[in-house]
A and B are shown apart, each in its own frame.
Chain A
Amino acid sequence: MSEADAQARANDVARAAYGKLVAMLASRSGDIIAAEDALADAFVAALKTWPERGIPNKPEAWLLTVAKNRRTDQLRKDARLVITDEANDMADARQIEPQEAQLDERLKLLFVCAHPAIDEGIRTPLMLQTVLGLEAEQIAKAFLLSPTAMAQRLVRAKKKIKSAGIPFVVPEPEAYPERMSGVLEAVYGAYAVDWMEGDGDLSHEAFFLSNILAELAPDNPEALGLTALIGFIEARRDARLRNGVLVPVPEQDVDLWDRRLIDHSASILTEASLKRTSGRFQLEAAIQAVHAARSVTGKTDWRALSQLYHGLMQAYPSIGGAVSRAAVVAEDAGPAEGLRMLEVINHDGLQQYQPYHAVRAHCLSELDRVAEAAEAYGNAISLCTDAPSQRWLAKKIENLRKKMS
């Protein structure tokens, strides 16, 4: 087997099993840093051994055994990293645990990362790194932080987990109402990070985790709400880009939507609503359900969207919701109304928020205030960080130019 094959296989295993392996290595000591170091050593050993000896039958068990030995070496204060053939003797390690137990391990790590004693702002980054195996550099980019600052914050959080004695356990069901919201937020954050530019693996994992959480807490309406929300958005995956250019939801080809997933998400949302406790994720899922209904009715119900956004803003105000609401109002009640909604938004960082400028530009353009619209699109494009949206904005500017000349 070539080195490239071994590397590819090691990467596959890393992706699929990273969080599980970290959790298994860290759950007793609580030391995530040591677990990640040991696992990194194991991957190095794999890259050396696998091309020569072939991929072991149970690559995860192999990595776990090597990592455990590495950690034991570390504990013996033998800090030197020695890569030997010893790993090969363990290629048939039969320690791999049953599927359910592994899942449990990963859930424990998820609850550790979103523990109330961990700063809210670092929960999603922590989860992205320890559960899903992202590099600090990638995470820093997604959160608009310098890699050094992000790395420092991640290390600080991991040190706190160990020194404060945060337990690696799935909490008792009584604690779900309190503990679940942090976990759901972190999972949604992970989903959102990958959505536009990622290769989809991460959002797939996030969707998977949301499903697991919904299974774990079937009586928690927000866990169901998040699963439905992500399901509705996932269902549109194949329609969101056309030749690398963003396609806004109301303009997407509904034939490219995954009808089965839409129906499934709709039934989960119904299930959630039967619990009679509303929440942010249920409202956001309801908004996506209205978009999804276009595949049946042939048109977008802007009035319903406007009302749902009104409800969302009353209970869970956010800059994203406020701007989306203005966009919806512009369609329902006209661009002048949309513009008015934008003017009353009072949020820190509004001027740095790309969608604000894009929606404003759209309203201005509809009102034939072409010069102002062009300027607003210019602002939007300069703040835009993902390529598909940049191309979409560039197209809008081009259309405006044609209108002007």
Chain B
Amino acid sequence: MRYTFLLYSDPAMSANMTEEDWAKSKEIYGQYISALHEAGVFIETDWLHPADTATTVTLAGGEKRVQDGPFAETKETLGGYFAIDVPNLDEAMKWAEKCPHVHYGKLEIRASAMDSV
């Protein structure tokens, strides 16, 4: 089953990160991605620009509306995601706990609904 990890955190926390911190962070995430690859469960990942650079588009209500910024102002915002392929939620939770993100942010696990339609 395909699971997506949505990575939420408070962007203020990473505001003061130094060059060195970023390098360190890159290395830690690199190790995690390698581990996912080695286990044969990796599908894809991305790391997003901050939520305040978001553009939100909707046609709900009949007319097109474009908003500068995220659809909802929250303290913790979506900063990236991982998509993995594992048999069940227990396996997904094991990988979630190993994700470096959980040490400072929240990780939401969502199963793909593609199979069930």
Contact = CB atoms under 8 A, between A and B. Distances in A.
Interface of A: 115-117, 162-167, 169, 171
A167 B87 contact: yes
Contacts of B116: 162-163
Interface class of chain A by DSSP: loop
Contact of A117 (B87, B89, B113): B89
Nearest to A117: B89
Interface string B16-41: 00000000000000000000000000
B67 to A, nearest CB: 30
Contacts of B113: 163
A101 to B, nearest CB: 20
6 contacts: A163-B116, A164-B89, A164-B109, A166-B89, A167-B87, A167-B89
Interface in B7-66: none
Interface residues of B, number: 12
A123 to B, nearest CB: 15
A167 B92 CA distance: 11
Given A117-B89, A166-B90, 15 more contacts: A115-B89, A116-B93, A117-B93, A162-B116, A163-B113, A164-B109, A164-B111, A165-B3, A165-B89, A165-B92, A165-B111, A166-B88, A166-B89, A167-B87, A167-B89
B114 to A, nearest CB: 12
Contacts of A164: 89, 109, 111
Contacts of A163: 111, 113, 116
Interface of B: 1, 3, 87-90, 92-93, 109, 111, 113, 116
Contacts of A117: 89, 93
A85 to B, nearest CB: 35
Contacts of A165: 1, 3, 87-89, 92, 111
Contacts of B109: 164
Nearest to A116: B93
Which among B90, B92, B111, B116 has the greatest number of chain A C-beta atoms within 10 A? B90
A169 B90 contact: yes
Nearest to A161: B89
A117 B116 CA distance: 20
A164 B111 CA distance: 5
A162 B89 CA distance: 10
Nearest to B86: A165
A117 B90 CA distance: 9
Contacts of A171: 90
A16 B93 CA distance: 34
Contacts of B1: 165
A164 B87 CA distance: 11
Nearest to A172: B90
